[in-house]
């Protein structure tokens, strides 16, 4: 048996329970991890609430099919399946996988979804990386095609995806402008932004500046405002959108697809999925100090409902972490 966060109906964090459940078995191609840290992502609270409703088509119409939360995980390998050769018990690993159930003392993941944790980062830091950093990397490199010397704007530069996007855009050689609120200006500057805009004092869409690539990690401005901010051949990467109860960000993504054929600038809706090929790259960037996870708050597993409430409020600086089993050094 193990402790885990579970839920059996959709709703607020009040539906979450900290209770004993069966320890997951190890599949032939899987690894069982003794979880040391996990991080909270927006998908966790969307799954918990069952919104946008379109998610329920696959996740359960009236009640959730999958009753655990947590995508990002870091910990020790506790057991491996018979087909797993790249890991052994005791290895320190991190990774991300759909419907992982990482908010628990133990979690099972496909071996292909994991990588060895760099020795110079903590379990907390490693758990902060997978979903958010992969979103930033794949968005900027593969969808935005960021090149050295280009001007890149990160809207929401102090958030989970945004803090990684600033650092990855700098690693790609761009001149980076970050947009955030006043209390986060120094944080965004400290991770490499060449320029920081406090949105309470200045409207980036009305500044007259034009950018080659814009990554929107907030969803708080209109598509036309983004188009005005781009150079004639610029690219806007949309990783989120308004939290509508029916379609959520998909409504904005559909509008972007419909508008794109009529404008020279590109509007690119993007939802990242865990990518085993790029975990080693993130591992190398962390080892080299090129990517340093920013952690806002840490909560024990039993306080996961409070962690999700805090993330839902929308003002987290970097990542919100769940620590499990004491110190995560």
Within-domain flag for 275? no
Identify the CATH number of the domain in which residue 215 sits.
3.40.50.720
- Give the separation between CA 73 and CA 233, rounded to whole angstroms: 38
Q: Which two tokens stand for residue 168?
A: 């990855």
Q: Does residue 259 lie in a domain region?
A: yes
Asked if residue 79 is part of any domain, the answer here is yes
CA-CA-CA-CA dihedral for 245, 236, 59, 29, to nearest 10: -160
Full residue range of the structural domain in which residue 265 is found? 132-269
Residues 144 and 125 in one domain: no
The answer to whether residues 83 and 212 belong to one domain is no
In angstroms, the Cα distances linking 61 to 66, 93, 134, 210 are 12, 34, 29, 44
11 burial (CB, 10 Å; 0-12 / 13-18 / 19+) is exposed
pLDDT tens for each residue of 20-69: 999 999 999 999 999 999 999 998 988 899 887 777 777 888 899 999 99
Evaluate whether 102 touches 71 at the Cβ level (below 8 Å).
Answer: yes
Per-residue pLDDT tens digits for 126-180: 999 999 999 999 999 999 999 999 999 999 999 999 999 999 999 999 999 999 9
Distance of CA 252 to the CA centre of its chain: 19
Strand 30-40, strand 72-80: pairing: antiparallel
The DSSP annotation for 234-299 comes to: EEEEE------SSSTHHHHHHHHHHHGGGSSSEEEE------TTTHHHHHHHHHTTS----EEEEE
> Going by DSSP bridges, is the β-strand pair 230-238/211-216 parallel, antiparallel, or unpaired?
parallel
- 284 half-sphere exposure, CB direction, 13 A CA radius: 6
Domain check: are 139 and 253 in the same one?
yes
Contact 93, 74 (CB under 8 A): yes
The verdict on 161 and 264 lying in the same domain is yes
Instruction: State the CATH number of the domain containing residue 302.
Output: 3.90.180.10
Taking the CB of residue 288, how many other CB atoms lie within 10 A of it? 11
Over residues 232-236, mean pLDDT = 94
Residues 203 and 3: their CA atoms lie apart, in Å, by: 47
pLDDT at 244 over 90: no
pLDDT of residue 246: 44
- Clarify whether residues 74 and 202 are in a common domain: no
Q: How many domains does the chain have?
A: 2
308 has pLDDT over 80: yes
Q: Are residues 33 and 99 in the same domain?
A: yes
| pLDDT of amino acid 14 | 97
| CA dihedral of residues 306, 309, 313, 319 (deg, nearest 10) | 60
Average pLDDT, the chain: 90
């Amino acid at each position: 048996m193990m402790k885990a966060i579970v839920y059996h109906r959709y709703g607020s964090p009040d539906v979450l329970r900290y209770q004993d459940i069966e320890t997951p078995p190890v599949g032939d191609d899987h690894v069982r991890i003794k979880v040391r840290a996990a991080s909270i992502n927006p998908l966790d609270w969307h799954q918990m609430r069952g919104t946008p409703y379109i998610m329920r088509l696959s996740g359960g119409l009236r009640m959730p099919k999958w009753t655990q939360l947590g995508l990002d995980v870091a910990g020790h390998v506790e057991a491996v399946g018979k087909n797993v050769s790249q890991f052994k018990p005791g290895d320190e690993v991190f990774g991300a996988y759909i419907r992982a159930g990482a908010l628990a003392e133990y979690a099972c993941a496909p071996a292909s979804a994991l990588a060895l944790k760099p020795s110079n980062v903590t379990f907390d830091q490693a758990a902060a990386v997978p979903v958010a950093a992969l979103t930033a990397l794949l968005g900027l490199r593969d969808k935005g095609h960021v090149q050295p010397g280009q001007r890149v704007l990160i809207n929401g530069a102090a958030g989970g995806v945004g803090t990684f996007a600033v650092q990855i855009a700098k690693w790609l050689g761009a001149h980076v402008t970050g947009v955030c609120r006043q209390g986060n200006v120094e944080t965004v500057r400290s991770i490499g932004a060449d320029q920081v805009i406090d949105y309470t004092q200045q409207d980036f869409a009305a500044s007259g500046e034009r950018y080659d690539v814009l990554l929107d990690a907030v969803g708080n401005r209109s598509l036309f405002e983004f188009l005005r901010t781009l150079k004639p051949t610029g690219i806007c990467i949309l990783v989120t959108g308004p939290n509508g109860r029916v379609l959520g960000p998909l409504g904005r993504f559909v509008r972007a697809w419909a508008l794109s054929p009529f404008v020279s600038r590109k509007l690119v809706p993007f939802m990242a999925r865990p990518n085993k090929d790029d975990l080693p790259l993130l591992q190398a960037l962390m080892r080299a100090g090129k990517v340093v996870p920013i952690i806002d708050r840490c909560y024990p597993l039993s306080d996961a409902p409070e962690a999700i409430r805090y993330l839902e409020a929308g003002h987290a600086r970097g990542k919100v972490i769940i620590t499990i089993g004491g110190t995560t050094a």
